[in-house]
Chain A
Amino acid sequence: MSLSEDRRFGRIASAIPQDVLRSILVAYRSTLGGAPWVHCGYEALPSIDGLRTPVLDISVPVDNVFRLGPTLGFETSPIIVTTGLRSSRFAAILFWEVLHALAVDGVWIDIDEATRCTQPRHGFDDYPRREYFADCLTITSVDERDGVLVQTFRKTRETQLAPTIDDCGWTFGILTAGASPQAARMAAAILDLNLPNVEVIFCGPRPAGVPNDPRVSAIDLEEPEPRGWITRKKNLIAKRARYDNLCLLHDRYVITPDWADALDAYGPCYSFLTLPQVYYAAVDKQFPHRYPDYQVLDQDRGIQGALATGVYDADRVFHPDYDDFSETAFCCGGIYLARRSLWNLVRQNEALFHCEWEDISFGVECQRRGLPHRVNPFVVAESTTPHPLLLTRMHTLSASHAERGRLHVSAEQEAAARTGSATFKPIITRNRQQYYESIRQRFNAIEGLEPHERLAPGFATSCNGLADVWAAVERHVSSLRLTTRDEIAQLAYFLCDSVYKWPAPQVLSMIKRHEESLGQSSALRRFTTIVGWGTGSAFQANHRLIGRDLAFVIDSEPAKWGSIIDGVTIRPFSALTSLDGVRTAVVVFSCFYDEIAARIRAERPDIAVVPYGAVVASQRFQPLVDLVAYYAEVERYYPRLFGAARMELAA
């Protein structure tokens, strides 16, 4: 018997020949005869005459929730033999569990393929040499036989978790900002949990309505920090916490009585955990959507550089299955279950603020030191608010297959949205008018806007959703003459304040791409005279969006010559005669571009001819274009976009 795992995890069996394994075990016969020993490994143990058989040969399936504590207890086993652990993607978990099953002064005989021991992934040290392990393990011998490495360790002292392993108390740390009515409800629910000892620490403003209970306290930063200094807040709570079991969470969760059972069920031996999290799109817990809870940075190379700079490629961040694991997996910052003693060994990097991938940095740093990030699957936590950008799609990673932008909305939800057969929650808690007005006010607060560049009070008169109002904003932005990086940055900041706080590198990427786009478009830049062609709907909808004033616009209809349309004079083709061809470009506002371009080139080959679409496209701020498309998709599946207006509530 031996460890096993689901085939979908793709474990490649280790190449430890049975005869080599036999000879190793024979060599350790006297050690293994000295005390009861446990085998935890993927290799089937050969039967050897005269060799004491293991008192326990662990033969359970391995996944994210694999634990030895319920079977072996904590630091009780005098000898543990492990075989082929590094063949598993769960190796970090297996090593963690074995370390904590091994008794102080115990012997650990680790047998594995030599290449896997010397070529660990991600640039991390081999597992027993990681900081947490090295603190209590001393290597006593290394032997290589036919490509198989045998390392023997002695556990010279207890793990850093040991002194507090029996602490059953829980400190719940809730981060607040503003009024946080949900935080007050959370505190009341926490105090009612069936846990032996509990305290609640708010870090931030103490919400109104919090029970007057000596188990509840509040701390805060010395000064307000607009960036959202959640790393410091969490570190402060961890420093202040009375109990060694920490639950650090943001103020948007529903705490239910079964949380206590889940926390108890996992057991005391863990480093960092999170809970599966959902947002329900409709009342009565209908249409659950996964909320970013447990993620993985799907890359083998470049981890050290990412950790050093705190910058990550978001396109490589996926949501794995909850029973899966990677050494670059991390608990998202919404909920941490952590041992205080271990949190304070690592601590979150206080040079990083909210939406600076501080959770990825923390997770990878923990894993690098030998402290895995895992999932407590025994309860699902409900988030009262959805992630603003993941209402329809998210990157997912099954054991074998990565899918970016997977549509995660169920057919049932789509049907209910269409038929009105469910009571959906609003995506935006504010009512429509409040939301539209907040957009207008924030846009008009952009530094340096001229009065005519502001959004007018009636800019959204004809809108009633999200896609249409953001399309109105996008059209307005396209008409602005943005020329400097700082101007484009102000636009990006408006989006960050109104929609989602993107990390700075992504904001800079938006800015740079738009600079390049504007630079290309001005292809028109080298021309001193720009002339339009066509006065139909394409002209009327787009001539203001090309970023240049037109000298005049050409139309083939003689009756229109001399008249003015949208402030531009209409003239005949012959008006091109007097223009310097080298410094003139004609922008064609018509679907008959090819015919018109051919006619111009036949008579004035020196004049550049450009379709309006090419010029207009490059004026558009792509993040806004993408946002409109996103909300158009959202509206298919979420029929209720806004909270109720006051009048509706009063009715």
Chain B
Amino acid sequence: MIPQDRPAAAGQSVRNRDALSLPVVAFRGLWDKFAAPLTPQAICRSYLRGVPSLVRCADEGEVRSALEFLTGAEFNRARLPVLLVFDGAPSIVVPDIAATTSLDLFAIDGAALFDRTYPIYRWIDTDWCPLGTYIPISAYLRGLTAEDLAVPADETLVVMFESVNVIDDVRLSPPPEGLNDDAVYASVRSLVGATAEVFRVSDLVELDWLQQRIREAA
């Protein structure tokens, strides 16, 4: 599966992990002064630094282009999975993936309303197989229930939830008191149970790292 960015301490219960220590996925790549958010440069920088990123593709052509970059060793030496995001079902957008692609491929069907959850698929052999749920922050704010899971809890293998930090406009309602990633994670974990792999989708991965380093050094 997607490699974790930090091994769990010996004996550490999955339930006890705080959100910051979860394996991370970049929301818009690792963007900076030289690589604007969502650009191929930001996506490649993310993979180069060992962090898988969401890769938004409109059609099969963009998927091919993305895979060209990310299947090579130049940017994806660690052979991290590729996380495609479509505005529709992957079976329609990209019904077939070239056999030469040996990376793990996941696809998120982001066609639902902004405050709904999205199904996550994985390319297995010759088909896209649903295996989890992507939870936008707006869906969490609306209120999550078991019905929001794209795959039943006992069949859920993967959940990705958006960090509060993907909210990037100060005009939006300020986060309510107590809204933080730990609260979101606790809610998600309570829905999916202990065995699903949970990933945190962050727009500020390098700041997350800095906060982790500060905490670990203390």
**Interface on A for B, CB 8 Å cutoff?**
226-227, 299, 301-302, 305-306, 308-313, 316, 351, 482-486, 493, 496-497, 504-509, 512, 515, 518-520, 522, 525
**Interface on B for A, CB 8 Å cutoff?**
5-6, 30, 32-34, 37, 48-50, 165, 168-171, 174, 203-204, 206-207, 209-210, 212-218
Q: In whole angstroms, how far apart are the Cα atoms of A227 and B34 in the complex?
A: 7
Contacts of B218 in A (CB 8 A): 301
Contacts of A299 in B (CB 8 A): 217
7 contacts between A and B (CB under 8 A): A306-B213, A309-B209, A351-B48, A351-B49, A483-B170, A505-B210, A506-B210
Set B30, B33, B34, B171: member contacting A525, Cβ < 8 A: B171
Contacts A302-B216, A484-B170, A504-B206 aside, 12 further interface pairs with beta carbons under 8 A come to A301-B216, A305-B212, A306-B213, A308-B5, A311-B206, A312-B213, A484-B169, A504-B32, A505-B206, A508-B207, A515-B170, A518-B170
Q: A313-B210, A313-B214, A313-B217 are in contact. Are A507 and B32 (CB under 8 A)?
A: yes
Closest 4 CB pairs between A and B? Answer: A302-B216, A485-B168, A505-B210, A508-B207
Q: A305-B6, A351-B48, A496-B33 are in contact. Are A508 and B204 (CB under 8 A)?
A: yes
Contacts of B207 in A (CB 8 A): 505, 508-509, 512
Smallest CB gap from B215: residue in A? A302
B213 touching A305, Cβ below 8 Å: yes
B33 touching A493, Cβ below 8 Å: yes
Q: In whole angstroms, how far apart are the Cα atoms of A309 and B50 in the complex?
A: 8
Contacts of A515 in B (CB 8 A): 168, 170
Set B30, B168, B217: member contacting A484, Cβ < 8 A: B168
Smallest CB gap from B32: residue in A? A504
B217 touching A486, Cβ below 8 Å: no
Q: In whole angstroms, how far apart are the Cα atoms of A497 and B34 in the complex?
A: 11
Contacts of B50 in A (CB 8 A): 308-309
A311 touching B217, Cβ below 8 Å: no
Q: What secondary structure prevails in chain A residues at the interface with B? A: helix
Q: In whole angstroms, how far apart are the Cα atoms of A482 and B168 in the complex?
A: 11
A525 touching B174, Cβ below 8 Å: yes
Smallest CB gap from A305: residue in B? B216
Q: A311-B206, A504-B32 are in contact. Are A302 and B213 (CB under 8 A)?
A: yes
Q: In whole angstroms, how far apart are the Cα atoms of A227 and B32 in the complex?
A: 10
Q: A227-B34, A302-B216 are in contact. Are A505 and B209 (CB under 8 A)?
A: yes
Q: In whole angstroms, how far apart are the Cα atoms of A310 and B49 in the complex?
A: 9
Set A493, A512, A518: member contacting B204, Cβ < 8 A: A512
Q: In whole angstroms, how far apart are the Cα atoms of A519 and B217 in the complex?
A: 30
Q: In whole angstroms, how far apart are the Cα atoms of A374 and B5 in the complex?
A: 31
B34 touching A519, Cβ below 8 Å: no
Set B32, B169, B209: member contacting A311, Cβ < 8 A: B209
Shortest distance between the CB of B169 and any CB in chain A (Å): 5
Contacts of B217 in A (CB 8 A): 299, 301-302, 306, 313, 316
Q: In whole angstroms, how far apart are the Cα atoms of A518 and B171 in the complex?
A: 9
Q: In whole angstroms, how far apart are the Cα atoms of A437 and B34 in the complex?
A: 23
Chain A CB within 10 A, most for which of B174, B203, B217: B217
Shortest distance between the CB of A519 and any CB in chain B (Å): 5
B210 touching A509, Cβ below 8 Å: yes
B210 touching A522, Cβ below 8 Å: no
Q: In whole angstroms, how far apart are the Cα atoms of A246 and B168 in the complex?
A: 47
Contacts of B214 in A (CB 8 A): 313
Q: In whole angstroms, how far apart are the Cα atoms of A519 and B214 in the complex?
A: 24
Q: In whole angstroms, how far apart are the Cα atoms of A305 and B8 in the complex?
A: 12
A486 touching B168, Cβ below 8 Å: yes
Contacts of A506 in B (CB 8 A): 210
Q: In whole angstroms, how far apart are the Cα atoms of A470 and B214 in the complex?
A: 30
Smallest CB gap from B214: residue in A? A313
A519 touching B170, Cβ below 8 Å: yes
Q: A493-B33, A505-B210 are in contact. Are A519 and B174 (CB under 8 A)?
A: yes
Q: A351-B49, A507-B32, A508-B207 are in contact. Are A483 and B169 (CB under 8 A)?
A: yes
Shortest distance between the CB of A365 and any CB in chain B (Å): 15
Q: A302-B216, A310-B49, A313-B210 are in contact. Are A512 and B171 (CB under 8 A)?
A: no
Q: In whole angstroms, how far apart are the Cα atoms of A511 and B174 in the complex?
A: 16
Smallest CB gap from A520: residue in B? B174
Shortest distance between the CB of A480 and any CB in chain B (Å): 13
Q: In whole angstroms, how far apart are the Cα atoms of A485 and B171 in the complex?
A: 11
Shortest distance between the CB of A258 and any CB in chain B (Å): 39
Contacts of B215 in A (CB 8 A): 302
Smallest CB gap from A298: residue in B? B217
Smallest CB gap from A490: residue in B? B33
Q: In whole angstroms, how far apart are the Cα atoms of A226 and B45 in the complex?
A: 14
Shortest distance between the CB of B171 and any CB in chain A (Å): 5
Q: In whole angstroms, how far apart are the Cα atoms of A299 and B216 in the complex?
A: 9
Chain A CB within 10 A, most for which of B48, B169, B206, B218: B206
Q: In whole angstroms, how far apart are the Cα atoms of A353 and B209 in the complex?
A: 17
Contacts of B203 in A (CB 8 A): 485
Smallest CB gap from A225: residue in B? B34
Q: In whole angstroms, how far apart are the Cα atoms of A311 and B216 in the complex?
A: 12
Q: In whole angstroms, how far apart are the Cα atoms of A496 and B34 in the complex?
A: 11
B171 touching A483, Cβ below 8 Å: yes
Contacts of B30 in A (CB 8 A): 504
Contacts of B37 in A (CB 8 A): 486
Smallest CB gap from A502: residue in B? B33
B169 touching A313, Cβ below 8 Å: no
Contacts of B48 in A (CB 8 A): 351
B170 touching A311, Cβ below 8 Å: no
Smallest CB gap from B77: residue in A? A351
Q: In whole angstroms, how far apart are the Cα atoms of A493 and B31 in the complex?
A: 12
